[in-house]
Amino acid sequence: MKVLIAAAEIFPLVKTGGLADVVGALPGALISAGAEVRLMLPGLPAILAGVEGLTTVCELGALFGAGRVILRLGRIAHNGVLTYVIDAPYLYQRSGNPYQDSAGREWPDNIQRFALLGWVAAHLAAGELDPTWVPNVLHAHDWHAAMSCAYAASHPGQRVATVFTIHNLAYQGLFPVQDFHLLELPSRLMVSQGLEFHGSLSFMKAGLKFSQRVTTVSPNYAREIATEEFGCGLDGVIRSRGGAVSGILNGVDGSVWNPASDALIASTYSARNLKGKPLCKASLQKELGLRVDANAPLFAVVSRLTSQKGLDFVLAALPALLQGAVEGGAQLAVQGNGDPALEAAFTTAAASYPGRVAVWLRYDEALAHRMIAGADAMLVPSRFEPCGLTQLYALLYGTIPVVRQVGGLADTVVDATPEAIQSDTATGFMFGPATALGLDQALARALEAYRNPPLWQQLMLRGMAQNFSWDVAAAQYLALYGDLLQDGAAAGHASAV
């Protein structure tokens, strides 16, 4: 089975969130399971630098506002996965992240930048660009690559099966309808049954409407996005796809996230020997300027600072957390950036509680490892959460998650109810209502458990025993690809469009 994975970012070359971790790990797991996988990535500076041995596949000429576009092929330096890179300096050779400039403003030509990604992926999948390798399956990730499904479906001779994975429905790739002509697509697609979405054109909707199968990154999120509460205005479209929508839980790359071998943390440890865990805590407390105190429960946040993540709940619950903790007081460490108001509020909290609250207002991959290893508990109180990777990493590092019962968090954390504790299945603490009171009550239960060291260790060990290997997810994706090809969905869908 030949699979082309199209995406805008990949760990460790370019990362703004969990999408990069998935694209960095899934191809290797699929290859290990027997598939032949190649990637399609935009030629961002870090990607061009991180793909070795690039050779020219074909010169595409002037496309989507760029005067020169060349398709190249090389291998990802750290894992050897064959990767197509779209070398279009006019569109991709820029500072900032893949979507915004260094000041946080969206690139004004994003419609062309990511239309090009989809166009090249679809044309390669049609056998037009590299006759030596033609995939059976085109797997597009998030709105950035979603147009590949529309380009593939708009061609009468579509030959590739398409899968579209939603990583976060809230980010949809919306553009003015007046720019539709820039996409070079048939006008019949710019209708309410196509790309039109409340007066805009939507790349996300392109993936939802024109792929043969839609997946999300957790089973629970797949159910949630079919509801008005979580559907971001697209719940009707999602319901209309019926059984074509499913959820496959994200995995964890054990070569990157493993406390027994993690070179980024102060001291390695495992479920068999936890001695390194308190050393990681003491080192983190010292690094962040917190009081070095083994008895103080250290709560951590490693997250983008956005409304989605429910971090205003953390701010509201913080006084009670610090005042109601065990002797010596609780501590809070925060890493991330985003909403200026949240950044300012956490900075104020750090100034108000010196030695007890520490804030690091930027993402640092190495520090994220040290935070997850050094903290006692990880806070993920999201209003919605497609999957969440932070709680998965925390579980494997013996750091107890405190999460809202939503999305992938509900799929991966078992609440420490009396029954779950008795049956030794509990792995964390969960709350339902999206309120500060809900989080406050979960924190109170967590603090009570912290005062009971045998119970706390029981929760740690149960979490560390969880299996979040990408091998599990890869097997599910391969089964989905196989069903899609066996059903002949590609031919049927092409004729329908």
Please name the residue that has the structure tokens 């919605």: 384
Tokens of 38: 């190649």
CA torsion, ordered 45, 48, 51, 56, to nearest 10 deg: 170
Average pLDDT over residues 58-86: 97
What is the set of domains in the chain, with CATH numbers? Answer: 2-251+471-496 (3.40.50.2000), 276-466 (3.40.50.2000)
> Quick check: 459 and 122 in contact, CB under 8 A?
no
DSSP codes joined into one string, 128-151: SS-TT---SEEEEEHHHHHHHHHH
Q: Are 64 and 116 in contact (CB under 8 A)?
A: yes
Closest by CA to 46, choosing from 85, 5, 100, is: 85
pLDDT at 379: 98
Residue 201 — φ and ψ, nearest 5°? -110, 140
Q: How far apart are CA 468 and CA 218, in angstroms?
A: 12
- Report which residue type is found at 129: L
pLDDT band for position 496 (50/70/90)?
Answer: very low
Q: At residue 282, what are phi and psi to the nearest 5 degrees? A: -60, -40
Per residue in 247-272, pLDDT tens?
A: 999 999 999 999 999 999 999 999 99
Helix (H) or strand (E) holding 379: strand 377-380
pLDDT digits (tens, 9 = 90+) for 291-305: 999 999 999 999 999
Task: Kindly provide the b/e burial profile for residues 58-68, where b requires at least 16 CB atoms within 10 angstroms of the residue's own CB.
Answer: bebeebbbbee
Please, what is the average pLDDT of the chain?
95
Q: What single-letter amino acid sits at 57?
A: V
Give residue-wise pLDDT tens across range 153-175. 998 877 899 999 999 999 999 99
Say if residue 324's pLDDT is above 70.
Answer: no
pTM, full prediction: 0.92
Please provide residue 458's backbone torsions phi and psi, each rounded to the nearest 5 degrees: -60, -45
Is residue 493 over pLDDT 70?
Answer: no
Q: How many residues does the chain have?
A: 497
The answer to whether 372 and 390 are in contact (CB under 8 A) is yes
pLDDT in the model for residue 78: 87
Average pLDDT over residues 415-440: 97
